[in-house]
Amino acid sequence: MPASTRDPATVTIERLPDGIVVLAFLVPDHRLNVITERVLRDLDATLDALEAGQPPRGLVLRSARPGSFFAGADLGRIERLADRPPAEIEQACAAGRGIFGRLSEAPWPSVALIDGVCLGGGLELALACDFRIATTSTHTTLGLPEVKLGLLPGWGGTVRLARLIGPGPAVEFAAGGEPVDAAAARRLGVVDACVPEQTALTSARRLIEHAAARAGHIARRRRLAAPIVLDPAERGFLEAVVAAVILGRTDGHYPAPAAILRTTLAGIGADAAEAMRLESATFATLATGDVSRQLVRVFRLGERNRRDPGVGSGDDDASADAATIERPAVVGAGIMGAGIAASHVRHGFEITLVDVNAAVLERSVTGILDEAAWDRAAKRTDPVRALALAGRLRTTTQLSALAAADLVIESVVERTDVKRQVLAEIERTVGPGTVIATNTSTNPITKLATALGDPTRFCGIHFFNPVRRMTLVEVVRGPATTDATIATAVAHVKRLGKCPVVVRDSPGFLVNRLLMPYLHESVEMLRAGIDPRRIDRVARAFGMPMGPLELYDMIGLDTAFYAGLVLDEAFGDRIEASPVIPALVKSGRLGRKTGAGFYLYDAAAGQRAKPARPDEGVAALVAPYALPHRETGDRMIADRLLLPIVLEATRVLDEGIVRDGRDIDLAVIHALGFPAFRGGVLAWADSLGAAEIVRRLEPLADLGVRMHPTPRLADMARRGGRFTAEVDA
């Protein structure tokens, strides 16, 4: 029988009868294994013990925690390093890298047995081993996501990966930051084999036996430590092409992908030790930069959201009385209802879809299954999977099919009278414990709730279009909605892979209320004679994924018109309905879906169409509503577009629309595409400072109350307050 000891606490050392030693990691106080300072100390001490005693024939590194090899480095450690001098950060990188390097310097071969999540520093640990075996489990994923935190691997990842799979694939893997499954990792050459979990340890032992018998691991180490010689033309082509791709993805706002390219190409021409020093220096530069700080904060916001039950403070794992939904249903097979149904099918639910129009219902089925079976990597639908998923979708024209549902999401046309009628019929059909929700962007939950006998189980679950791509979902609390209803809705939305933000019922909820000032101001500038392409260019230069006029066209001008009416009624002093939008709608210009809006489009390309050029006919429609021309620089255009979002965010905070200001930053990033490298609208406001915002608003004061500082902003400017200091504390 193998002897087993447990010393130190995060590592179990098991000696097998054939002389192979298995190190199994289990990091306490974490849901997944992460590489903490304690793990590094324990690994270092374990290697000391192995070297001092009877040498092992080989070493296997594995996790004792199911589903997690290592999910990366401890984020708290990264945050603490960011405040240290660059030289100290480089030293910390070298220390961790030195411990990992002991695996590739020991006389015995080593194998990383990867079952579950293997990301960031966890993959760097695996790369320091001689060989890697991944299990075929669906939970096994490998990646270097540091780029999403504005960083690059700091423990030798860029160096070892480039020598293992080649510089081109290595840059693509690290600069993209997306994890891959075990089979894809095997095709790339990141792992040496993919095997079932049950045979993984046996395979690792055989690999060690084979390597030890032929000293194959020693020869491999020598090859992977040597410089890589690239033909100058090949290197130039690689650098030019990859740099162009990176610039296209980042618009120059995110320094880490370009740094990964530069560091990898510089490192392949040097020996491994020098290449790793270059990597550490680059890591230190990125870690102390503002982009990384903001991206780490955004990651923290996401982690907090994943723990948040939707009620209470949201800052802990407080349990909530949430029911687990097993029998969901959707009423309405239009674009949104079909998208919501597809999301359920994709995430393993059997879903009932009801629509009284049999033709609409029938037409929706193919699209739902195509969406559900969409392959992100291949960027196309997997027809085999679509066929396999068909059994999860049940369609019917009869509301009686809802009788056994435990959640019903109503998603019919955005007319209050129709929604009220449908909701009342749903309540008469379902059981008393069923949660009833509405997917609406404009209808007040309070008004819709009056159609129900029991409004305590009613809430809004507002998905954004397109459902597959948009991760944010607003869970809207009405005045009678119970905590249990909210907690159930939040938990269910998370099971769909979405990011739920709980908001209090009010016109526009949260996202549309923040969006409309941005859209409205773009049309006001258009009325003042500013070129539409310039307005959109300035917005994109700030970091928005598209300009406001392009966004109008994507949303649909008819949809925007109705949303604008709701907000005009509630906040007409600052978000008044523009006369330009109804004029465009009346002319048949509805945006991408009709091939014309503010811009012209290829109608055959549908929602994927790119703006071809401004629609010259728009100028004639705008002319009757022209405003006096005013000299406007690019920075003032940006201020006019974006500062009203800050002002509206302060009102949202004052009115208690969200439980926590951090939800505002999360929402604008996930729903509006507000640049993550700026940390969200409140973090961006802090980067300017309240006093500077007030100063920038002064020359815009004649535009009306929409440009006047709110009392909260004025107070912060006087006392030097910070938004994120108030909400992140």
Single out the residue of 3, 102, 127 nearest to residue 47, CA to CA.
102
- Both tokens of 719, joined, read 């006392």
d(CA 384, CA 393): 16
Distance (Å, whole) CA 551 – CA 547: 6
Determine phi and psi for 708, rounding to 5 degrees.
-90, 135
Q: How far apart are CA 342 and CA 348, in angstroms?
A: 10
Six token digits for residue 11: 């590592």
Distances (CA, A) of 698 to 245, 406, 601, 639, 648: 41, 53, 38, 11, 17
DSSP sequence for 271-337:
-HHHHHHHHHHHHHHHHTSHHHHHHHHHHHHHHHHHH--SSTTSSS-----PPPP-SEEEE--SHHH
Residue 587 token pair = 């002319």
Question: Cα separation of 145 and 119, whole Å?
Answer: 7
Residue 417 token pair: 């009278």
Tell whether the torsion through CA atoms of 336, 675, 309 and 142 is positive or negative.
positive
Distances (CA, A) of 331 to 154, 289, 519, 629: 50, 48, 31, 49
Query: Residues with Cβ < 8 Å from 287, sequence gap 6 or more?
Result: 78, 81, 82, 89, 151, 154
**49, burial (CB in 10 Å: exposed 0-12, middle 13-18, buried 19+):** middle
Q: How far apart are CA 489 and CA 479, in angstroms?
A: 16
Can 462 be counted among the known catalytic residues? yes
| Residue (of 141, 499, 31, 121) closest to 302 by Cα position | 499
Count of other CB atoms within 10 angstroms of residue 500: 25
Q: Which of 217, 344, 462, 492 is catalytic?
A: 462
Q: Taking a C-beta distance cutoff of 8 angstroms, is the pair 108, 212 a contact?
A: yes
Residues catalogued as catalytic: 462
